[in-house]
Structure 1
Amino acid sequence: VRFLEQQNKLLETKLQFFQNRQCCESNLEPLFEGYIETLRREAECVEADSGRLSSELNHVQEVLEGYKK
């Protein structure tokens, strides 16, 4: 009987642990999803800026070549 009581207590503890773990994971998921979405938007902006700056650099280099002649 004691052995079964110990096993029952162990199972109750494990169940409580997993229930708490699931609760915490579900609370953090929206936070990380929001953070990931913010990073995606920032990456898109950086990519757009990179293209714009590359074009601007090419233009300035062409202007400088014109002055060298």
Structure 2
Amino acid sequence: MFLVRFLEQQNKVLETKWSLLQEQGHTVTRKSLEPLFEAYINNLRRQLDSLVGERGRLDSELRNMQDMVEDFKNK
């Protein structure tokens, strides 16, 4: 859920930047945009990897806490 919101915000930022560039009359070729988009995509992939790792850690922590609660219930 957080990732979706983050990506939507990033998309809005890119749309705004693109509009500004078009208004200023800059001619931007596809070739010059490719490295920017590749860097942006790589950054998003790193963030996604980090979030996936964090989720795994939190899932494990949740299971441990649930086990502890069950142990206390059974005592």
**TM-score, length basis structure 2:** 0.59
The residue type equivalent to 2:55 in the other structure is S
Unaligned 5+ segments in structure 1 are 1-20
RMSD: 1.4
Q: For residue 65 of structure 2, what is the aligned residue in structure 1?
A: 60
Structure 1 stretches (4+) deviating beyond 3 angstroms? none
Q: For residue 50 of structure 1, what is the aligned residue in structure 2?
A: 55
1:24 maps to which of 17, 21, 29: 29
Q: Distance in 1 between matches of 2:32 and 2:57?
A: 39
Q: Which has the higher contact order (CA 8 A, sep 6+)?
A: 2
Structure 1 residues 5-63: Cα deviation after superposition (integer angstroms, max 9, x where no partner) = xxxxxxxxxxxxxxxx8x61111111100000001101100110111011000000011
**TM-score, length basis structure 1:** 0.64
The total of aligned residue pairs comes to 48
Unaligned 5+ segments in structure 2 are 1-26
Identical residues among aligned pairs (%): 42
Q: Which has the larger radius of gyration?
A: 1
Q: Which has the higher helix share?
A: 1
The residue type equivalent to 1:44 in the other structure is D
